[in-house]
């Protein structure tokens, strides 16, 4: 019988760290220096002086647009609305977003290769879908998103949820959050979108797959857990004991650590400023700032060999809470914002046109006979 030859000289890298799987000109994620640039522009500048809808143009088209123009509105089609109405009200809003994008893709039959116009449509669809589901589960009818065409994509999300013109300070804060979350190199969900595109599948399928990858707590699912963590700590006096006990149980502190950044995540620094400007709940923000100091000190003690610093999710949770989103809408908001990065990468991938297909090292049993039927 044939036996499987041992494989010599192959190293398995199950987390793919250090593997370069694409060339990109969309963003630079500099983990050593703690820098994030979108097509050369620094994230702090973009969050303070840009707008999300302009960043979408930058990511999709390559250059900073001369004018700040909101994206065209994407109305809910009957297929999307029907799919959302058919979901149980207990469904996770992120699953509702994935379902809405899937129904939209089934109706549109987008085809290959993807285009920047398709990308704009999918980005603009997000607020309408998330807002409609948030209302339907509360027994309310969705509002007409076209009434909010004057707002940017982030402001439209607030409008689609509440049915009211959003407070300008909250819309601005959410817009800065969207800017900060729009793109981040070859993270797990973006890689998923590129893998799907590399098979010459359509853009809606790439976004559906990316939403699925974002859902996990090691990627996009952390900000609501940051909130739970701060709620449990409750007071900075309890922080040291609470954190020591959590680390002793082998738990991870939510909002800390990153695969790439060995310094503070530059997005966390930008979002802390957004949270300070929004000043929605000064005591809550102060608790976060104080707990962060304790957590950084104890993480340095706990893992001196790893640089475990604050990541984007930490202050994202303060901003999203400050603009009034319910915790189960945090990750959907992240997904709507990140649709810009996913689709920009899908466009880049389709231009490169190479199927992504790594190998696996087989470690199962040798060839063997099928057991005789009983």
Q: Which chain residues interact with ligand ACO by CB under 6 A?
A: 15, 218-220, 222, 252-259, 303, 306, 308, 311-313
Q: Which residue is listed with tokens 């853009």?
A: 203
Shortest reach from residue 164's CB to ligand ACO, in Å = 30
Q: Tokens in use for 262?
A: 């060995």
Shortest reach from residue 241's CB to ligand ACO, in Å = 16
Shortest reach from residue 310's CB to ligand ACO, in Å = 9
Shortest reach from residue 147's CB to ligand ACO, in Å = 32
Q: Which CB, 210 or 312, lies closer to ligand ACO? A: 312
Q: Which CB, 160 or 344, lies closer to ligand ACO? A: 344
Closest residue to ligand ACO in the complex (CB): 257
| 175 preceded by a cis bond (ω within 30 of 0) | no
Q: Which CB, 287 or 337, lies closer to ligand ACO? A: 337
What angle (nearest 5°) sits at the alpha carbon of residue 189, between those of residues 188 and 191? Answer: 65
Is 254 in contact with 219 (CB distance < 8 Å)? Answer: no
Helix, strand counts (H, E) of the chain: 15, 3
Q: Tokens in use for 15?
A: 């987390």
Q: Which CB, 202 or 225, lies closer to ligand ACO? A: 225
Q: Tokens in use for 358?
A: 């790594």
Residue 92 exposed, middle or buried by CB count within 10 Å (0-12, 13-18, 19+): middle
Q: Which CB, 187 or 349, lies closer to ligand ACO? A: 187
Shortest reach from residue 245's CB to ligand ACO, in Å = 13
Is 124 in contact with 87 (CB distance < 8 Å)? Answer: no
**SS3 track for 185-209:** CCCHHHHHHHHHHHCCCCHHHHHHH
Q: Tokens in use for 180?
A: 């900060």
Is 239 in contact with 295 (CB distance < 8 Å)? Answer: yes
Q: Tokens in use for 83?
A: 């799919």
> Which sequence positions are flagged as catalytic?
258, 313
């Amino acid at each position: 019988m044939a036996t499987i030859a041992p494989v010599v000289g192959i190293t398995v890298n199950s987390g793919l760290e250090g593997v370069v799987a694409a060339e990109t000109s969309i963003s630079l994620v500099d983990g050593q220096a703690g820098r994030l640039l979108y097509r050369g522009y620094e994230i702090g500048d973009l969050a303070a002086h840009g707008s999300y809808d302009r960043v979408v143009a930058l990511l999709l088209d390559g250059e900073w647009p001369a004018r700040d123009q909101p994206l065209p509105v994407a109305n809910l089609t009957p297929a999307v609305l029907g799919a959302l109405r058919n979901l149980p009200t207990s469904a996770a809003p992120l699953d509702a977003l994935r379902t809405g994008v899937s129904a939209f893709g089934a109706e549109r039959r987008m085809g290959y290769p993807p285009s920047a116009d398709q990308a704009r449509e999918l980005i603009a669809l997000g607020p309408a879908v998330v807002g409609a589901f948030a209302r339907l589960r509360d027994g309310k009818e969705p509002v007409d998103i076209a009434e909010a065409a004057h707002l940017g994509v982030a402001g439209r999300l607030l409008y689609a949820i509440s049915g009211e013109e959003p407070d300008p300070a909250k819309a601005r804060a959410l817009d800065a959050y969207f800017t900060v979350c729009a793109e981040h190199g070859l993270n797990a969900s973006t890689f998923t979108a590129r893998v799907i595109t590399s098979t010459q599948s359509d853009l809606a399928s790439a976004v559906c797959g990316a939403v699925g990858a974002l859902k996990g707590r090691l990627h996009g699912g952390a900000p609501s857990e940051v909130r739970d963590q701060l709620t449990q700590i409750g007071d900075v006096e309890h922080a040291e004991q609470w954190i020591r006990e959590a680390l002793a149980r082998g738990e991870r502190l939510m909002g800390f650590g990153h695969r790439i950044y060995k310094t503070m995540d530059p997005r966390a620094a930008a979002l802390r400023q957004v949270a300070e400007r929004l000043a929605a709940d000064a005591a809550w923000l102060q608790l976060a700032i104080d707990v962060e100091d304790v957590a950084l000190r104890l993480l340095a003690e706990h893992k001196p060999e790893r640089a475990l610093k604050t990541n984007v999710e930490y202050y994202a949770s303060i901003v999203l809470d400050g603009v009034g989103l319910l915790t189960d809408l945090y990750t959907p908001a992240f997904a709507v914002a990140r649709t810009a990065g996913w689709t920009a990468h899908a466009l880049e991938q389709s231009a490169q046109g190479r199927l992504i297909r790594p190998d696996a090292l087989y470690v199962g049993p040798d060839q063997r006979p099928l057991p005789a039927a009983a």
